[in-house]
Amino acid sequence: MQPFVYIALPARVVFGFGTAKQVAQEVTRLGCSRALVLTTPQQVAAGEQVQADLGDLNVGIYSKAAMHTPLEVTLDALAQAKALGADCCVAVGGGSTIGLAKALALHSANSAKLKIVAIPTTYAGSEATPIIGQTEVLPEAIVYDVELTLSLPPQMTVTSGLNAIAHAVEALWAVEANPIISSLAIQGIKAIARSLPLIKAGPQSKDGRADALFGAWACGTCLGAVGMSLHHKLCHTLGGSFNMPHAETHTVILPHAVAYNAPFAADAVSSVAKALGVANASQGLYDLAKENGAPYSLKALGFKEEDLERAAELAASAPYPNPAPLKKEKLLALLRNAYEGVRPL
């Protein structure tokens, strides 16, 4: 057994069916009484149901959460929270909404810091991770209600699930890897991998949806506990500099990042393959995406071929710690394969 350091991230987790009805109890447990509900424009109906469940604890809804948490949206939401006298926010949705909640908590930290109750409706795992590495902006409570994920569209289900798997994969080869998180990572990969075919066969499969949501928590917890490497560096580059869609980009890049690192992280990659039940981890991840209807090329996502070299240059210029050296020429080859949608060798 190798020496290791493990730091548990504090959060109360409530998991089950119909658990969103308990949101008022979670708000009062935090000592709060004025909750602002957060959603994207597309999830207002879900937010309104949570408002009803909150009853007198609800002070309003803010429904402009957006991908990548634009500063102007954060400041607008913060102004509304202050005007309403909110002491906590209830984030209903995926990474965009939960990211906004964490940004509000961070921006309000110098005054009356807003507490967070997260009710995830996707498998992004944002609720289990801090932003900019500060654990004080983690949600204080996470309510996982499987019923809220039953209507998640099939393709979004696959890309959201593979986005979550990416968190677990990188946890296995991270500098801070430890046996506790590695065990959780393998559980998360297994749960999501077995859930996707079930959901494809029956989008409202309760067994499939429960496995996927548990896997999302497990994988998100992994990302919150250890650092990021090549895969997240590439996805952050493509999202931040080229405005590529978050989960879809993770889905396309992951098999190629695994292939890139395979010679330098053989044990970790072997663990991924075993968790997937395949002989080759990178090919297994590629097949899992393609066979379940997810995009598998950057070209299909609208990325421009002429931007490949610039993306490789940006990724190589400020690398994250990674098992394999990050060389521009090799990163360019990786990105070109991802652009064309080539099945990894």
Do 167 and 136 share a domain, yes or no? no
CATH number at residue 65: 3.40.50.1970
Q: If phi over 0 gives left and psi between -120 and 50 gives alpha, with beta otherwise, what is residue 304?
A: beta
Of 340, 322, 93, 330, the C-alpha closest to 226 is 322
Question: What's the Cα-to-Cα distance from 61 to each of 43, 51, 68, rounded to whole Å?
Answer: 11, 8, 20
In a domain, 27, yes or no: yes
Residues 219 and 232 sit within 8 Å (Cβ to Cβ): no
Residue with tokens 């658990």, as numbered in its chain: 19
Q: Residue 323 is encoded by which pair of tokens?
A: 């098992």
In a domain, 2, yes or no: no
Neighbours of 239 (CB within 10 A): 16
Three-state SS for 250? Answer: helix
The string of pLDDT tens digits covering residues 278-336 is: 999 999 999 999 999 999 999 999 999 999 999 999 999 988 999 999 999 999 999 99
Give the end of a domain, one of 128, 149, 170.
Answer: 149
Residue 4, pLDDT score = 75
Residue with tokens 């210029």, as numbered in its chain: 317
Do 180 and 221 share a domain, yes or no? yes
In a domain, 7, yes or no: no
Residue 237, pLDDT score = 96
Which residues lie across from 36 on neighbouring strands? 60, 89
Do 106 and 126 share a domain, yes or no? yes
In a domain, 5, yes or no: no
Do 235 and 299 share a domain, yes or no? yes
Separation between Cα atoms, residue 203 and residue 30, nearest integer Å: 35
Do 125 and 188 share a domain, yes or no? no
Number of domains making up the chain: 2
What backbone torsions phi and psi does residue 89 show, to the nearest 5 degrees? -125, 145
Domain residues for 48?
12-149
Of 114, 143, 149, 140, the C-alpha closest to 54 is 143
Query: How far is it between the farthest Cα atoms of the chain?
Result: 59
In a domain, 201, yes or no: yes
In a domain, 291, yes or no: yes
Neighbours of 56 (CB within 10 A): 8
Kindly report the CA angle at 244 between 282 and 211, in degrees rounded to 5? Answer: 50
Give the end of a domain, one of 116, 149, 182.
Answer: 149
Residues 244 and 238 sit within 8 Å (Cβ to Cβ): yes
Do 297 and 263 share a domain, yes or no? yes
Do 144 and 173 share a domain, yes or no? no
Residue 126, pLDDT score = 87
Separation between Cα atoms, residue 265 and residue 249, nearest integer Å: 22
Strands (E), 12-167: 12-16, 35-38, 58-62, 88-93, 115-120, 141-145
In a domain, 6, yes or no: no
Separation between Cα atoms, residue 86 and residue 57, nearest integer Å: 10
In a domain, 46, yes or no: yes
Separation between Cα atoms, residue 118 and residue 5, nearest integer Å: 28
Separation between Cα atoms, residue 30 and residue 115, nearest integer Å: 8
For every one of its 345 residues, what pLDDT tens digit does the chain have, with 9 covering 90 and above?
Answer: 667 777 777 789 999 999 999 999 999 999 999 999 999 999 999 999 999 999 999 999 999 999 888 999 999 999 999 999 999 999 999 989 999 999 999 988 766 889 999 999 999 888 988 765 455 678 999 999 999 999 999 899 999 999 999 999 999 999 999 999 999 999 999 999 999 999 999 999 999 999 999 999 999 999 889 989 999 999 999 999 999 999 999 999 999 999 999 999 999 999 999 999 999 999 999 999 999 999 999 999 999 999 999 999 999 998 899 999 999 999 999 999 999 999 998
Give the end of a domain, one of 129, 149, 169.
Answer: 149
Separation between Cα atoms, residue 21 and residue 70, nearest integer Å: 30
Q: Which residues of 109-130 are buried (b: 16+ CB within 10 A; e: fewer)?
A: eeeebbbbbbbbbbbbbbbbbb
Do 211 and 117 share a domain, yes or no? no
Of 147, 43, 51, the C-alpha closest to 95 is 43
Separation between Cα atoms, residue 338 and residue 333, nearest integer Å: 9
DSSP 35: E
Do 209 and 292 share a domain, yes or no? yes
Do 41 and 177 share a domain, yes or no? no
Separation between Cα atoms, residue 39 and residue 61, nearest integer Å: 8
Do 128 and 35 share a domain, yes or no? yes
CATH number at residue 205: 1.20.1090.10
* Beta carbons within 8 Å of 46's beta carbon, 6+ residues apart: 39, 92, 93, 121, 148
Do 215 and 290 share a domain, yes or no? yes
Separation between Cα atoms, residue 114 and residue 117, nearest integer Å: 10
